[in-house]
Amino acid sequence: MAPSKLSHLDARNRPAMVDVGGKEVTLREATAEARVILPRPVAAELRRSGHRTRKGPVFDTAIIAGVMAAKRTHELIPFCHPLGLEHCSVQIEQRPGGQIRIRCHVAVHHRTGVEMEALTGASVAALTIYDMCKALSHDIEIDGVRLLAKSGGKRPYQRAAARKGTRA
């Protein structure tokens, strides 16, 4: 059997946490995004109400939930290393057509990257918006969860904005 190129498999192709002990400590950063697509009447109501529902301030609550989730990613995703994040920010922007764009940026000085923390933060912020708006409609979509950029490790990554099919 050929050795796997997947990082979370050991020499016998069994699941294993990656040993990062020999890696250099560097500043690791990642940015991810998610989109929530609301039906137009829901988007209008949310804008009219100042982004509040009976459950409270939607965007503020989603920001808090996203940061909390990023900090606890290792409890949710098997084999993620526990990290003491040095920075985590969540930005939420209501856009035309009922779209809400969520971006989560995470940073830490460590031996392992923070892509999963950024993706988890953006995803949970999107789920929180869904939860807080579902009384208005269940016809809400969460879409486009993706990594936008990462740096500080062996393989930096920057999503090409001009790539065919990529939404700005």
Residue 163: per-residue pLDDT: 44
Per-residue pLDDT of 13-48, as tens digits, reads: 776 667 676 778 999 999 999 999 999 999 999 999
Residue 113: per-residue pLDDT: 87
Q: How far apart are CA 168 and CA 52, in angstroms?
A: 26
Asked whether the beta carbons of 30 and 158 are under 8 A apart, the reply is no
- Secondary structure of 12-42 in the HEC alphabet? CCCECCCCCCCCCCEEEEEEEEEEEECCHHH
Annotated catalytic, 131? yes
CA torsion sign for 44, 47, 50, 52 is positive
Please indicate whether residue 161 or residue 140 has the higher confidence score (pLDDT). Answer: 140
Catalytic-role residue among 10, 19, 131, 143? 131
Per-residue pLDDT of 124-160, as tens digits, reads: 999 999 999 999 999 999 999 999 999 998 889 999 8
Please name which of 83, 91, 100, 97 lies closest in space to residue 35, comparing C-alpha atoms.
100
Please name which of 105, 106, 99, 150 lies closest in space to residue 126, comparing C-alpha atoms.
99
Q: CB count, 10 Å around CB of 49? A: 13
> How large is the average pLDDT for residues 53-65?
96
Could you give all domains of the chain from N- to C-terminal order, each with its CATH number?
A: 26-152 (3.30.70.640)
Look up residue 127 and give its two tokens: 């789920």
Q: Which of 12-16, 77-81, 117-121 has the lowest mean pLDDT?
A: 12-16
Residue 91: per-residue pLDDT: 98
Q: Which helix (H) or strand (E) holds 132?
A: helix 115-133
